[in-house]
Amino acid sequence: MDNSKSQSLPLSSSPFTPLSRSRRRAVRVSRQTLVTQRSLQAGQSLPQLIQPTVSGVDAIAWASHHRSQLLQTLTETGGILLRGFAIHTVDSFEQLMRAICESLLDYSYRSTPRTEISGKVYTSTEYPAELTIPLHNEMAYTNCWPLKIAFCCLQPAAQGGATPIADSRAVLASIPQAVQARFQQRQVMYVRNYGDGVDLSWQTVFQTESRAQVETYCRAAGIAYEWKTGDRLRTRQVCPAIATHPQTGELVWFNQAHLFHFSALGAEEQQLLLTQFAPEDLPRHAFYGDGSAIDPGDLAAIWQAYDQHQQIFSWQAGDVLLLDNMRVAHGRLPFQGPRQVVVSMADIVEHSQGRQASWS
């Protein structure tokens, strides 16, 4: 039994007029709160569970009316799980996101295979169901990323498929100071090779068929690029490993060194790729920002920190998980059976350009 403390979110002092305009059945709320808020699991603040106390609450109207409270809760806790609001379609999910966030974003400079479903809503990463997607912050491999990311479960898997999350502040605090200092000083270099039939093509990553547009994007983003024979491309970008949250001023572990590093692959996959590619031609790899190899002990410390702070919950149909993308990392566990979780990103944040990657 969950004995975590429950609290009610107050209604505005003005009449709740948006509800009366809802297409759903109107609900009388005199002397009654519409939703409650509590921790999903006792002893853990992440995520905060918000549920309606009465049936027929229009999630979009309610979220629009209480937008400032939702955003404050998100800033304070890092993650909100909206459950029981009957968000069962892509359209209703997109409307909900537009009611909460300032601007929804395109998925640009891609790292994983995804399909745009409608507007600014995409499929979640289209990796095979038997694979685990490790904890990470969305687009932390670049100097421009979404501050908010939200997932909507339209169909939970028959078995598995949970989304682990972890507090990026706690991850940072658990990484030894010496490791933090190395990454703080050297940063992270991400190297990607496109066009060899493995991983994403440069056309998919940059969402264009034009080399000139790729070059324009890279110059603006501080990405070094090199065209190779056979319509192939290599890019390098140096990004900070530790970021400062623009709203709270807190430091967070914010990079994908562990995910891009070749060692993140299984032993068999590593061996197979090395029979096909020279080390410098691997589809993706990570180094310290000066181009030197990352110490295996440093990578082990990063994986251990993520494992230490991982929290897992299982999806229910209609759930919406809204995360502060800098405060909270996310991943995916293997699953069986059909599973449909869609994603939307919002509110862009940018690093300063940092160091320009060098080919020397």
Is residue 359 in some structural domain? no
Q: Using CB atoms within 10 A of its CB, is residue 84 exposed (0-12), middle (13-18) or buried (19+)?
A: middle
* Banded pLDDT at 12 (limits 50, 70, 90): very low
Whether residues 299 and 344 share a domain: the answer is no
Contact 244, 250 (CB under 8 A): yes
Whether residues 77 and 160 share a domain: the answer is yes
Tell me the C-alpha distance between 301 and 305, whole Å.
6
Mean pLDDT of 63-72: 94
Express as a percent the part of the chain with pLDDT over 90.
70
Mean pLDDT of 272-296: 94
Is residue 356 in some structural domain? no
Which pair of structure tokens corresponds to residue 69? 């409270």
Whether residues 155 and 282 share a domain: the answer is no
pLDDT of 137 reads: 97
The string over 66-75, giving b where at least 16 C-beta atoms fall within 10 Å of a residue's C-beta and e elsewhere, is beebbbebbe
- Among 114-128, 136-150, 310-324, the minimum mean pLDDT is found in 114-128
Please determine, for residue 70, whether its predicted confidence score (pLDDT) is greater than 50. Answer: yes
The 3-state secondary structure of 232-262, one letter per residue: EEEEEEEECCEEECCCCCCEEECCCHHHHCH
* Banded pLDDT at 20 (limits 50, 70, 90): very low
Please determine, for residue 23, whether its predicted confidence score (pLDDT) is greater than 60. Answer: no
Q: Tens digit of pLDDT for each residue in 306-321? A: 999 999 989 999 999 9
Q: pTM (2 decimals)?
A: 0.85
pLDDT of 111 reads: 66
pLDDT of 243 reads: 96
User: Which residues fall within 8 angstroms of residue 54, CB to CB, at 6 or more apart?
Assistant: 27, 29, 32, 34
Whether residues 162 and 176 share a domain: the answer is no
Mean pLDDT of the chain: 86
28 or 341, which is more confident?
341
Tell me the C-alpha distance between 72 and 40, whole Å.
18
Which pair of structure tokens corresponds to residue 158? 């028959």
Q: What angle do CA 309, 313, 314 make, to 5 degrees?
A: 150
* Banded pLDDT at 113 (limits 50, 70, 90): low
Amino acid at 341: V
Which pair of structure tokens corresponds to residue 91? 């359209």
Is residue 355 in some structural domain? no
Mean pLDDT of 100-119: 76
Domain that holds residue 283: 171-305
Please determine, for residue 359, whether its predicted confidence score (pLDDT) is greater than 70. Answer: no
Amino acid at 85: F
Is residue 330 in some structural domain? yes
Whether residues 220 and 265 share a domain: the answer is yes
Whether residues 160 and 13 share a domain: the answer is yes
Whether residues 150 and 206 share a domain: the answer is no
Mean pLDDT of 82-87: 94
- The count of domains in the chain is 2
Amino acid at 79: G
Contact 135, 257 (CB under 8 A): no
Whether residues 43 and 138 share a domain: the answer is yes
- CATH number, domain of 219, equals 3.60.130.10
pLDDT of 279 reads: 87
Pairing of strands 116-118, 121-123: antiparallel
Last residue of a domain, one of 286, 305, 324: 305
- Among 12-26, 128-142, 247-261, 339-353, the minimum mean pLDDT is found in 12-26
Q: Tens digit of pLDDT for each residue in 159-200? A: 999 999 999 999 999 999 999 999 999 999 999 999 887 878
Which pair of structure tokens corresponds to residue 85? 């609001």
pLDDT of 17 reads: 30
Where helices occur in 21-135 by DSSP H, the ranges are: 59-65, 67-77, 90-100
pLDDT of 307 reads: 97
Whether residues 67 and 152 share a domain: the answer is yes
Whether residues 55 and 92 share a domain: the answer is yes
Is residue 1 in some structural domain? no
